[in-house]
């Protein structure tokens, strides 16, 4: 059963039960009220009738005249009994009793005679179809008579039938109205639920582009917005997972190539070293080649371990104050021989300044950047400088090398990305150096900037906080 049908049935049942309970209570209340009001009216009217008998009934014949007149003009049935309770005369034509009903005990009449009660007595018994009022009167010859005034209960309850018909008619009309209203209202309530159910099913099936459009400011509207946000988040996460999956696939392909090439070189070198007629110079050459390729594999695995630590541990660096000029001086000395061999000029313009960072990691950053600058600068110069601005020290490395095309700069720090794969492998690069640089600087909260023009040179800069 649909939620719309459940809502409609619930509204109808609640209304029917409510109207039935209210109408039943109303009818019972009205019956009680009419009966109580009728007793009060009969008491007042009975006193007036008794006063008429007592004031004008001198003889028994006078009583009969008053009896007929009262029967014509009032809504009550009047009966006269003698002092012993035997029937004498009545104003109504239906079958009359021969005496006062046995249920109306003689004690009532005794109380009226002795004056131990009010001047009238009302008898309203559930099993009786009438209400009775008794009183006494006397004639001029001191003869005692009982006057019985009665009325059918069905006459009292005639308005109840009309009221019941009105209530039940109104109830059926109301049920018809509530059927229509409940259908409209349940449709109004169930429509967004059905839309949300359908939309959540589509999102669960992978359709994260599906949008829920509910122009409502209630909880349904908030739920729709939450589902839309969830779909956007899922779509974004899926895109990131797909991108990560593609990068992982590419990573495995790249690392296979990076390891396979030096391994092939080492295997070929070992085969050559097994030749007996190999000269000492050639043997030394092949041994140096195997050593270089082994160092290349070692650098590759070191870089991979560094990147793994940066991926898994957000606190893999340990910041401490250190003098930047001492670190750059040591790097200048380390590259002095290599730079002299390539006939390059290496200028270091770093003033003594204390910065806050991981000294070893920053040295690794500068080492990678200087190494790249030396590799890709066939002639000219390399300049390493620093500038203090406020609470930061800006470090800049410039070269007059081959430069980098603009389309390569956005992906320059991707793992194993190369602008010229063949040339990079020939020069012994791992393809992870700049990725390591970026991971270390990201951990320091620093952003690396690159400016490059092909054929002119490249400038790379980043900043560190002063200590």
The residue among 358, 364, 355, 331 whose CA lies nearest residue 437 is 364
Once rounded to an integer, what is the mean pLDDT over residues 110-115? 72
Question: How far is it, in rounded angstroms, from Cα 384 to Cα 361?
Answer: 17
Over 80: is that where the pLDDT of 208 sits?
Answer: no
For residue 299, give every residue at least 6 positions away whose Cβ sits within 8 Å of its Cβ, in sequence order, or none: 430
pLDDT average, residue stretch 322-336: 91
Q: Are 85 and 99 in contact (CB under 8 A)?
A: yes
For 146-168, how does the pLDDT look when each residue is reduced to its tens digit (9 = 90+)? Answer: 888 888 888 888 887 787 788 77
Per-residue pLDDT, 394: 94
Query: Is the model's pLDDT at 422 over the cut of 50?
Result: no
Distance from CA of residue 359 to its chain's centroid?
Answer: 49
- To the question of pTM greater than 0.85 for the whole model, the response is no
Domains of the chain, earliest start first: 3-160 (3.30.450.20), 206-311 (1.10.287.130), 313-465 (3.30.565.10)
What is the rounded average pLDDT of the residues 275-286?
Answer: 82
Region 331-342 average pLDDT: 88
Cα–Cα distance list, 339 to 110, 162, 292, 368, 395 (Å): 144, 117, 19, 15, 20
CA–CA gap between residue 296 and residue 427 (Å, rounded): 10
Q: What percent of the chain has pLDDT over 90?
A: 15
* 8 A C-beta contact, residue 211 and residue 231: yes
What local confidence, expressed as pLDDT, does residue 290 receive?
A: 82
Mean local confidence (pLDDT), 217-236: 78
Name which residue leads in pLDDT, 399 or 113: 399
User: What tens digit of pLDDT does each residue of 425-444 get?
Assistant: 445 455 677 888 888 888 88
- Least confident piece of the model among 58-62, 84-88, 255-259, 355-359: 255-259
Tell me the pLDDT tens digit for each residue of 4-33. Answer: 677 667 777 777 787 778 878 888 888 888
Residue 219's pLDDT band, with cuts at 50, 70 and 90, is: confident
Average pLDDT, the chain: 80
pLDDT band, very low/low/confident/very high, at 253 (cuts 50, 70, 90): low
Q: Tokens 């030396």 label which residue?
A: 374
- Report, as an integer, the average pLDDT of 240-254: 73
Q: Which of 292-296, 307-311, 360-364 has the highest mean pLDDT?
A: 360-364
What band does 96 get if pLDDT is binned at 50, 70 and 90?
Answer: low
Provide the pLDDT confidence category of residue 465 given band limits of 50, 70 and 90: very high
Q: Is there a contact between 430 and 440 (Cβ–Cβ < 8 Å)?
A: no
**pLDDT attached to residue 165:** 82
Residue 328 pLDDT: 92
**Residue 144 binned pLDDT confidence (cut-offs 50, 70, 90):** confident
- CB-based contacts of 180, cutoff 8 Å, min separation 6: none
pLDDT class for 326, splitting at 50, 70, 90?
Answer: very high
Better-scored residue on pLDDT, 115 or 198 = 198
Query: What mean pLDDT comes out for the span 73-102?
Result: 76
pLDDT interval class at 323 (50, 70, 90): very high
pLDDT of 349 reads 92
Exposed e or buried b for every residue in 129-156, given b needs 16+ CB within 10 A? ebbbbbbbbebeeeeebbbbbbbbbeeb
**Confidence at residue 457, expressed as pLDDT on a 0 to 100 scale:** 93
Could you tell me what percent of the chain has a pLDDT over 70?
85
pLDDT score of 98 more than 60: no
Q: What is the longest distance spanned by two Cα atoms in the chain? A: 175
Average pLDDT on 295-308 reads 71
Split at pLDDT 50, 70, 90, the class of 458 is: very high
Residue 423, pLDDT score: 47
Residue 355 has a pLDDT of: 94
Residue 299 has a CB neighbour count (10 Å cut-off) of 15
Residue 88 has pLDDT above 60, yes or no: yes
Confidence of residue 181 (pLDDT cuts 50, 70, 90): confident
**pLDDT (0 to 100) of residue 255:** 67
């Amino acid at each position: 059963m649909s939620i719309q049908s459940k809502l409609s049935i619930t509204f109808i049942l609640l209304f029917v039960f409510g109207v039935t309970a209210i109408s039943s209570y109303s009818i019972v209340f009205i019956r009680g009220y009419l009966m109580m009001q009728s007793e009060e009216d009969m008491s007042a009217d009975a006193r007036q009738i008794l006063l008429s008998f007592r004031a004008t009934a001198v003889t028994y014949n006078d009583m009969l005249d008053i009896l007929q007149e009262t029967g014509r003009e009032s809504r009550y049935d009047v009966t006269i009994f003698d002092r012993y309770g035997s029937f004498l005369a009545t104003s109504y034509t239906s079958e009359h009793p021969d005496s006062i009903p046995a249920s109306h005990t003689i004690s009532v009449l005794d109380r009226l005679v002795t004056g131990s009660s009010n001047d009238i007595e009302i008898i309203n018994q559930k099993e009786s179809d009438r209400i009775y009022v008794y009183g006494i009167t006397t004639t001029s010859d001191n003869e005692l008579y009982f006057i019985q005034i009665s009325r059918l209960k069905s006459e009292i309850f005639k308005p109840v039938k009309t009221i019941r018909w009105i209530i039940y008619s109104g109830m059926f009309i109301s049920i018809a109205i509530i059927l229509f209203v409940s259908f409209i209202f349940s449709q109004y309530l169930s429509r967004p639920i059905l839309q949300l159910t359908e939309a959540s099913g589509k999102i669960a099936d992978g359709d994260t582009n599906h949008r829920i459009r509910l122009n409502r400011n209630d909880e349904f509207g908030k739920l729709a917005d939450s589902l839309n946000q969830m779909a956007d988040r899922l779509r974004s996460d899926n895109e990131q997972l797909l991108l990560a999956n593609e990068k992982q696939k590419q990573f495995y392909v790249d690392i296979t190539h990076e390891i396979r090439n030096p391994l092939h070189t080492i295997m070929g070198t070992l085969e050559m070293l097994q030749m007996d007629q190999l000269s000492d110079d050639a043997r030394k050459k092949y041994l140096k080649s195997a050593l270089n390729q082994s160092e290349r594999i070692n650098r590759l695995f070191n870089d991979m371990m560094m990147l793994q630590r940066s991926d898994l541990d957000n606190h893999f660096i340990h910041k401490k104050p250190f003098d930047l000029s001492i670190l750059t001086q040591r790097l200048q000395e380390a590259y002095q021989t290599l730079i002299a061999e390539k006939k390059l000029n290496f200028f270091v313009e770093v003033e003594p300044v204390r910065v806050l960072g991981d000294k070893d990691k920053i040295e690794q950053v500068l080492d990678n950047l200087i190494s790249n600058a030396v590799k890709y600068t066939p002639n000219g110069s390399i300049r390493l400088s620093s500038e203090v601005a406020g609470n930061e020290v800006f470090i800049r490395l410039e070269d007059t090398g081959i430069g980098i095309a603009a389309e390569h700069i956005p992906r320059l720090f991707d793992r194993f990305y190369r602008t010229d794969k063949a040339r990079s492998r020939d020069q012994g690069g791992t393809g992870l150096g700049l990725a390591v640089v970026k991971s270390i600087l990201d951990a320091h909260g620093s952003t690396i900037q690159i400016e490059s023009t092909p054929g002119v040179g490249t400038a790379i800069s980043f900043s560190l906080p002063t200590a």
